[in-house]
Structure formats: C-alpha cells, structure tokens
C-alpha cells in the first residue's frame, strides 16, 4: 500500500513516513513546495538510503492509496479544499490536533465542527475520514526504536477504520484501539494536549495505553 502525506514535511509527517517506510510501505511526502518535500526525503534517507520514500507536491501525494494529513491545524482549512477532488473516494487520515500555546502551556482550541477530524471531513465531503495517530510522539517516531503506545482510531466507516488500525500496527510497539465514531476524535485530540502537559512536568515524551482490553 502506498501512503501519501499532505503537509508531510513537519515532524509528525516525517516521523510517520519513516515508520511506514520501515514497514515496507511506499511513502510520498507531500508539500506545497516540492523542494521542501525533497529536503525532507533527503533527511529521512540519511537514516537508511533504501527507505521507499519520495517527495512530491500535495496534489501528487493525494493520489496515494491512503492519504494522511499532517498539516498544522491552522493550515488545514487552506490546504484541503483544493485537494478535495483528488481525495474523493479515498481514506484520509486526520492526525491533526487543534492546539494553542500560551506561556508554554498547551490548550485545546475550539473547532466549529467539533474536532479537527470532523473539520477535515467537512472540507472533504467525498472522502472517508479516519482519525488516528494524534497521540504518538513525533520525536519518538523520528528517533526510531519501539514505541510503547496505543493509537486510538475513530471513524464512521468500519472498513476504513479497520484498514487504518491495521496500518497503525505496522509501527513497532503500537497497538490500535477502536475509539468509536469520528466525533470521539475530539477526545483523542484532547489527550495530546494532556500529554504535552505531562511531557512538561516529567521531561519526557509520553504516550497512552488503554488497559483491560485485548
């Protein structure tokens, strides 16, 4: 399965692309500026020149089998509408957390649609949006080595949810957990804000596990 990243040149996009490429998935890092995408690819290939990662424009990345949106929340409303036609009929994964910082403290930003994921669905009405990966530490993804974290996956479409859950478990040390319908993404996005506070208090890159499920 090839995987495209919209706005893939940040830590989150690069970290996920690195992990999925390690698992053998061809990854296409998209950017508005192809030079930025190519620079990200060069950086990732320093880890391993054989990684199946290429750079492209966002519209090219939008043609992949599964497309993952890793833009900042503030860029989502401008970035996605021009890609809506290209993304029609595809599974599009929302990793975005609507977060603001003030005096070093993170807070969850109100989203008119409820969550960043529901906004993405509203901007891409012909795509099947699945929310996932918000709680993974981008820094740990990029660093390599096994994670110790669950990925809570929220979606309306059970088949799309299943595909993304299976994709998540390609990352070493990750277990996917069914988090229910798409509006629950708001709660998962909130966990990231909580983890930022915990990271600050404990000087770490924390994750979450759900207990008592198999």
What is the number of alpha carbons within 13 Å of residue 191 lying toward its C-beta?
22
Question: What's the closest the beta carbon of residue 206 comes to its own copies, in angstroms?
Answer: 5
Nearer to its own copies, 28 or 188 (CB): 188
Task: Tell me the β-bridge partners of 152.
Answer: 177
Q: With CA atoms as reference, report the closest residue to 9 among 63, 66, 51, 68.
A: 68
Q: Minimum distance between the CB of residue 143 and its own copies, rounded to whole angstroms?
A: 12
Instruction: Tell me which residues touch its own copies (CB under 8 A).
Output: 105, 107-108, 137, 148-149, 152, 177-181, 183-184, 186-188, 190-191, 193-195, 197-198, 200-202, 204-214
Closest to its own copies by CB, 108 vs 123, is 108
* Angle between the N-to-C axes of helices 34-45 and 11-22, in degrees from 0 to 180, rounded to the nearest 10: 50
Of the pair 132, 208, the CB lying nearest its own copies is at: 208
**CB 63, min distance to its own copies, A:** 32
Nearer to its own copies, 7 or 190 (CB): 190
**Sign of the torsion formed by the C-alpha atoms of 189, 210, 207 and 95:** negative
Alpha carbon 95 to its chain centroid, in Å, reads: 3
- Phi and psi angles of residue 140, each rounded to the nearest 5 degrees, phi first: -70, -35
Least spacing, CB of residue 200 vs its own copies, in Å: 7
Nearer to its own copies, 33 or 197 (CB): 197
Least Cβ distance, residue 32 to its own copies (angstroms)? 32
Strand order in the sheet with 53-57: 53-57, 27-31, 3-6, 66-69, 91-94, 128-131, 149-155, 174-178
């Amino acid at each position: 399965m090839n995987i495209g990243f919209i706005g893939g040149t940040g830590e989150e996009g690069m970290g996920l692309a690195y992990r999925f490429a390690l698992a053998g998935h061809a990854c296409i890092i998209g950017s508005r500026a192809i030079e930025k995408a190519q620079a990200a690819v060069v950086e990732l290939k320093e880890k391993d020149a054989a990684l199946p990662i290429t750079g492209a424009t966002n519209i090219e990345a939008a043609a992949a089998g599964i497309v993952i949106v890793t833009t900042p929340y503030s860029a989502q409303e401008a970035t996605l509408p021009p890609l809506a036609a290209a993304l029609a009929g595809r599974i599009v994964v929302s990793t975005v957390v609507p977060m603001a910082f003030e005096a070093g403290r993170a807070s969850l930003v109100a989203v008119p649609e409820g969550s960043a994921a529901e906004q993405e669905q509203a901007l891409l009405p012909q795509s099947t949006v699945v929310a996932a990966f918000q709680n993974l530490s981008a820094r740990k993804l990029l660093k390599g080595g096994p994670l110790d974290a669950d990925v809570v996956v929220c979606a309306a479409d059970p088949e799309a949810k299943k595909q993304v859950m299976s994709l998540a478990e390609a990352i070493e040390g990750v277990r996917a957990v069914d988090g229910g319908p798409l509006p629950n993404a708001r709660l998962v996005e909130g966990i990231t804000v909580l983890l930022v506070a915990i990271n600050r208090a404990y000087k770490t890159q924390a994750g979450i596990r759900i207990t008592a499920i198999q």
